[in-house]
Structure 1
């Protein structure tokens, strides 16, 4: 179960022990202490006097990619005029450049700059040095992202409900009893399976369907980057099918249970009564009133909530569209290997779409004791993607015309260019539907859909261009999910248009996830093995048993104002990143911070698509 990727370091016990050790380091410790100890112990400076840092993508860079390090300082340190790249093995300076773009204050820093070394393409292992400041180890290699998408799949398998291959045990096999449906409340229905949404054990159709689509799309677009190391049940072994298809099928099979009849669709299993302390999913003893059964919420398009709080649902199209698009794409990918399965998926794709047509609007998730729920306020993007996928699956101009109409209703996801949004208010965080319309090559409409992508990129760029990290994504809850989605949109726009004007912006968002951020840490558990990554996520598996949650993308930084007003957050350990927090934004590698350090299933699925896309740039697969 130990993760080994890109290095030989054992990734289980040592990480947890190191977490305990580093919490004793003084307030202004170097964020990269662990990496420095491993890679260039002799170059460690006194953390008491250090005031400047170099932030890089700890995972590494492909030779022909845009490559930028960000220099930051917390005092009036003289701005760098040049920087050097030093070969790790020989200690020789192999590159010198003055390609530096200066910026001002950002977050905890008073000065900042972008150091561009894109024209340095020689593979190897290096350090960057600007004045007296030296970076963590810099890796340039065409294979640097190989197998990273498969690595992130580990988290998806670990999130399985029903049979959990990581724990080699079953959980939530009695799900569940119905609420809000046309049948009598508390009617039993078999909906066991799927994935737990995050570090709790709730299950949502909206995030699961979106995750399933991302996994299917990743295989469709980049089939060669995935391997076959696991069986369909998630245990080790080969079954002649790429592991990502096995995982996507796990999601599809659960969605089929959640849409058992043309006029039945369920939206959610369990609610925030789940939040009753730490335990493994296989030892979940939360009682919802019917023993081991949990409530299953019917998608009725109306406000729901069995306790103090209710959502603001207005229809079913948001969730039905997500079901339909996943089923339709699944039909095309499985029809060559399992005709009966593909036929069923095709039928469900059409019935789910019809279910959404009957009730336009949003089917939000249901709260209970706390005011937090997924406050999705858009639905035309979901129906657009569904119609586009149905068009590709079955043909017929009707579906394409409907997709184009939906596309015009929301050309740009509203969070793009905004400073804030409510939790999951605009979801999914990028619109795959525009891509599906654009690649159909229908005169006029394809160009229009591509322009929608460009307009969204421009809105974010207008904000990003003013800071050294090129950060234009708002620091709302799950900001890393938005970051991954935005990078996907940028990648897809470049693929559609050939326009590379946003390439550096896209790369900056990708780099942010892997260490080129104010804290200098990767936001993906265990990736890379040699770098600073989350070590104490908000997860019972890690906190109680030190089980690694390999590949999980954590929520990510939030505005300081959001963090201060969340309920029940209390750091468990001293903050090793205390010197890099600010009123603007905070991130804590601490179990107690569920707002920034909780891995999410759907965010990880988006990351898998993104990693596969970046891997394919040099693998040719």
Structure 2
């Protein structure tokens, strides 16, 4: 397997900028279509396409004077224009220029040609349904991650397997106790189920529905598709029902995870994985995240499933009572004989604040507001599993004005917008127009991309500014191929697809293509597995990715990476 890192000699031509009237068909500078099949890996576009009225920019590695856009169906040039910009990009080490074809508004299939370089992959210009299909696939991928049920061909197509992990799990340290904790999602490329990331996954799904409900009107062909509940909420409920099983009935505390002691081999299908399952002890972070997401669920499901809503709220209050009775931080560390994912943390302050904010929003009870005001530290605004302060902020910012403190909300709003402005500023300096600093290409960097976009989309809800939505869209363009590697990072989508994700069902089944709709982790400059170290040493941060099944640090998948991308593509498909 080879690393997805490319290098070519570049022209030293100096770019200039010019304009062409919208929808004007112009003669080709070369007079003919580029030779078919000569694809340049240095012309970077969103390989799915662009919406009609959006900015449409291709990033060209090197410096060239002009570019042409061809109709892929007719082979005729429809636009010729000079490039703009000459930007040195620190994250990739590339010098780039830009092909801005925003004035092209006719629906169709196109490619870009640069004389002396070649042509881009084909892409489309069209309605938001271009991205609705991607979003649907991202959501449907969570169905493929479901644990405890048969995936049959009626819903899963080729990607079938028998029921898995249906036996009772052993309470670690007390092997006489066995509990039914079936269900939930396989967290990532392995078969572990973890409360902390599952809570973040479910929260992202419910927020995506709350902010962009118009993106979830089409059924996804899952078992619940005919129940008059949007399928994205059905998927969230599947995860939430498992979370409810992870709460200790007596204390209200929540067990941290259920896994086998070790990861199974890479090609083991879930229904063949029969190692003993162990429930790990209660932790502060699991309990607080659980309280937050079940409180959120009580609000979101109130009109769709009142009984489930009440059940979630009761569970959230019970978990909060545990937090009040256990004020000291109870961390989780893997026992010596367990090597599955740890999802450990050094503090539960952000998780507790999230729980308080969600319980305030769900109930309006004053004590939650008092706790939040006294304990929430404005800033940071994490939207990943290790820092959930951003979820806490969102809950508080969008709570009823009668329950939240206006002064605290204004403080958070101001800081949120300041961070959004920082992301926009970072994107303006980035060669690929991406709101990412070169130090952020770590394990799961594509989650960083999606979470930055999510932050800016929330900022747009707070201030209605086009600069935020445009920069968020640029993050989506990056994930679908407008990056230094010309790599689409979502399985099944784009011209240069991920084919070897670190994902056991994709490795173990007999299907050529991997399960579609999975967002892989992306470049990791720390080179944290043998394949990455062997192939990517010396590469710039944004180039440290390899489409290799053994590269768990760059090519694994995770439900909470998918869910962050779902929020972004919910926006992309909403207008």
What SS does the aligned partner of 2:429 have?
coil
CA offsets per residue over residues 507-540 of structure 1, 9 Å max, x none?
A: 2222111101111111111124xx2221111123
CA offsets per residue over residues 170-190 of structure 1, 9 Å max, x none?
A: 11112311126xxx4541111
1:320–1:356 contact (8 Å) kept in structure 2: yes
- 1:586 equivalent in structure 2: 544
**Count of residues in correspondence between the two structures:** 531
Matched, 1:137 2:122: yes
- 2:524 equivalent in structure 1: 558
Measured at CA, do residues 130 and 191 of structure 1 come closer, stay the same or move farther in structure 2, by a change above 3 Å? same
Measured at CA, do residues 205 and 186 of structure 1 come closer, stay the same or move farther in structure 2, by a change above 3 Å? farther
Matched, 1:452 2:415: yes
Distance 2:168 2:530 in 1: 29
CA offsets per residue over residues 550-579 of structure 1, 9 Å max, x none?
A: 1111111110xx11x5368688xxx7xx89
Measured at CA, do residues 360 and 152 of structure 1 come closer, stay the same or move farther in structure 2, by a change above 3 Å? farther
What SS does the aligned partner of 2:553 have?
coil
Matched, 1:117 2:95: no
Matched, 1:478 2:444: yes
2:261–2:278 contact (8 Å) kept in structure 1: no
Q: 2:496 aligns with which of 532, 537, 553?
A: 532
1:537–1:590 contact (8 Å) kept in structure 2: yes
Q: Where does 1:9-28 land on structure 2 (aligned, <5 Å)?
A: none
1:525–1:552 contact (8 Å) kept in structure 2: yes
Q: 1:174 aligns with which of 148, 167, 170?
A: 167
CA offsets per residue over residues 432-469 of structure 1, 9 Å max, x none?
A: 22222223355333332222222333444554443311
In the TM superposition, residue 125 of structure 1 has moved relative to its aligned partner by: 1.9
Measured at CA, do residues 176 and 29 of structure 1 come closer, stay the same or move farther in structure 2, by a change above 3 Å? farther
- 1:282 equivalent in structure 2: 271
In the TM superposition, residue 344 of structure 1 has moved relative to its aligned partner by: 1.1
Question: TM-score, normalised on structure 1?
Answer: 0.77
Measured at CA, do residues 360 and 567 of structure 1 come closer, stay the same or move farther in structure 2, by a change above 3 Å? farther
In the TM superposition, residue 153 of structure 1 has moved relative to its aligned partner by: 2.1
1:523–1:533 contact (8 Å) kept in structure 2: yes
- 1:343 equivalent in structure 2: 310
2:263–2:340 contact (8 Å) kept in structure 1: no
- 2:379 equivalent in structure 1: 411
Distance 2:530 2:538 in 1: 23
In the TM superposition, residue 67 of structure 1 has moved relative to its aligned partner by: 2.5
Q: Where does 1:540-551 land on structure 2 (aligned, <5 Å)?
A: 540-547=504-511, 548-551=514-517
Q: Where does 1:185-224 land on structure 2 (aligned, <5 Å)?
A: 185-224=175-214
Distance 2:367 2:179 in 1: 35
In the TM superposition, residue 353 of structure 1 has moved relative to its aligned partner by: 2.5
What SS does the aligned partner of 2:430 have?
coil
Range 249-258 or range 164-173, more displaced: 164-173
Give structure 1 stretches of 5+ with no counterpart: 1-19, 31-39, 74-78, 287-292, 302-315, 416-423
What SS does the aligned partner of 2:280 have?
strand
What SS does the aligned partner of 1:433 have?
helix
- 2:26 equivalent in structure 1: none
Distance 1:484 1:26 in 2: 22
Distance 2:72 2:532 in 1: 42
In the TM superposition, residue 264 of structure 1 has moved relative to its aligned partner by: 3.2
CA offsets per residue over residues 475-507 of structure 1, 9 Å max, x none?
A: 110111121111111111011112333444322
Q: 1:259 aligns with which of 247, 256, 276?
A: 247
1:570–1:593 contact (8 Å) kept in structure 2: no
2:83–2:97 contact (8 Å) kept in structure 1: no
Measured at CA, do residues 63 and 187 of structure 1 come closer, stay the same or move farther in structure 2, by a change above 3 Å? same
Distance 2:3 2:245 in 1: 49
What SS does the aligned partner of 1:103 have?
strand
- 1:389 equivalent in structure 2: 358
CA offsets per residue over residues 26-61 of structure 1, 9 Å max, x none?
A: 98799xxxxxxxxx994333x8xx6x7111111211
What SS does the aligned partner of 2:189 have?
coil
In the TM superposition, residue 283 of structure 1 has moved relative to its aligned partner by: 0.4
CA offsets per residue over residues 186-209 of structure 1, 9 Å max, x none?
A: 411111111111111111100011
Runs (4+) of structure 1 exceeding 6 A deviation are 23-30, 568-571
Superposition CA RMSD, Å:
3.3
1:360–1:379 contact (8 Å) kept in structure 2: no
Distance 1:27 1:485 in 2: 27
CA offsets per residue over residues 271-328 of structure 1, 9 Å max, x none?
A: 5512445311100133xxxxxx4110121x4xxxxxxxxxxxxxx1x32232122212
Distance 1:386 1:115 in 2: 46
Measured at CA, do residues 81 and 524 of structure 1 come closer, stay the same or move farther in structure 2, by a change above 3 Å? same
Measured at CA, do residues 144 and 460 of structure 1 come closer, stay the same or move farther in structure 2, by a change above 3 Å? same
What SS does the aligned partner of 1:376 have?
coil
In the TM superposition, residue 246 of structure 1 has moved relative to its aligned partner by: 1.5
- 2:72 equivalent in structure 1: 88
- 1:359 equivalent in structure 2: 327
CA offsets per residue over residues 560-614 of structure 1, 9 Å max, x none?
A: xx11x5368688xxx7xx8995466411111111111111111112222221122
CA offsets per residue over residues 73-106 of structure 1, 9 Å max, x none?
A: 3xxxxx2233332222333433344462221254
2:4–2:485 contact (8 Å) kept in structure 1: no
1:104–1:112 contact (8 Å) kept in structure 2: yes
Measured at CA, do residues 354 and 586 of structure 1 come closer, stay the same or move farther in structure 2, by a change above 3 Å? same
Give structure 2 stretches of 5+ with no counterpart: 10-32
